């Protein structure tokens, strides 16, 4: 099922022991277009400390009436490696984080989630694997904030059109399947969806998303309504 990331902002997060905070942001990889972490604001529980929660911890994305359920204990979260919200997440930090929880490194293997193939796959990394991955310490993990990308303008080969307003995420693979784009008030504020496969590059300096499609193709795309994209809508995409 596809989920609107925008609709998940502010959603309460809970464990079997009770609430732990709420969703503040998502970090995604801007090469593979997959969400790597939920950024949780722990509120009064940990004095507003921000913590990273991997999709591994959500299992099948269980949701009750009030919150998203996390398969971790409050103690695990409290003792997890602290992050500095003012600095990029380094690969060295990620290694420490994944070793702490005993999850497989997602950068091992060719799949979206490494050797596991999906965020629900659990495997404690071996000592050899841990040693081998020190070669990646200097790698750029390409982690970006969905909040930060919100509002970026869409740049086609024949001009700019609209801006990013939301992301549609597959709740099994945590892959970002579509960017929701508002085409602008000059076209009655019409919303459409663009596949990451049609993105050429992102300019963080210019706050622009450069796409491989024309302005005309965007204007002719099916309109996106305020609901998760279903299979019928995806089948109508003519530039996917």
For the entire predicted model, the pTM comes to: 0.83
pLDDT digits 0-9 by tens, 211-238: 999 999 998 888 887 564 344 344 445 4
Q: What pLDDT is attached to residue 1?
A: 84
Domains and CATH numbers, the chain: 2-144 (2.30.30.240), 150-235 (2.30.30.240)
Which is it for the CA torsion 196, 197, 198, 200, positive or negative?
positive
Rg (CA), the chain: 19
For residues 81 and 92, what is the distance between their CA atoms, to the nearest angstrom?
11
pLDDT digits 0-9 by tens, 154-188: 999 999 999 999 999 998 999 999 999 998 765 45
Q: What pLDDT is attached to residue 146?
A: 97
Q: What pLDDT is attached to residue 63?
A: 67
Q: What pLDDT is attached to residue 233?
A: 41
DSSP bridge pairs for 13: 21, 68
pLDDT < 50: residue spans in the chain: 122-140, 187, 228-236, 238
Q: How much of the chain exceeds pLDDT 90, in percent? A: 55
In the three-class reduction of DSSP (H, G, I as helix; E, B as strand; rest coil), residue 125 is classed as coil
Q: What pLDDT is attached to residue 99?
A: 93
């Amino acid at each position: 099922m596809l989920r609107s990331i925008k609709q998940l902002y502010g959603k309460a997060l809970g464990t079997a022991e009770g609430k732990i905070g709420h969703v503040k942001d998502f970090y995604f990889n801007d090469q593979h277009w997959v969400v790597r972490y939920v950024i949780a604001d722990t509120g009064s529980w940990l004095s507003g400390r921000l913590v990273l929660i991997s999709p591994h911890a959500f299992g099948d994305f269980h949701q009750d009436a009030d919150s998203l359920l996390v398969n971790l204990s409050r103690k695990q979260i409290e003792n997890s490696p602290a992050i500095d919200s003012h600095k990029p997440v380094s690969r060295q930090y990620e290694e420490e984080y994944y070793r702490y929880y005993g999850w497989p490194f997602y950068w091992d293997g060719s799949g979206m989630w490494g050797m596991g193939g999906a965020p629900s796959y659990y495997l404690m990394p071996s000592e050899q694997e841990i040693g081998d991955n020190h070669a990646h310490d200097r790698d750029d993990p390409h982690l970006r904030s969905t909040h930060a990308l919100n509002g970026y303008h869409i740049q086609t080969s024949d001009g700019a059109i609209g801006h990013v307003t939301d992301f549609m995420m597959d709740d099994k693979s945590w892959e970002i399947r579509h960017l929701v784009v508002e085409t602008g008030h000059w076209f009655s504020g019409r919303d459409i969806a663009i596949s990451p496969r049609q993105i050429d590059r992102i300019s963080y300096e210019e706050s622009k998303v450069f796409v491989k499609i024309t302005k005309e193709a965007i204007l002719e795309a099916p309109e996106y309504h305020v609901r998760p994209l279903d299979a019928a809508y995806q089948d109508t995409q003519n530039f996917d």
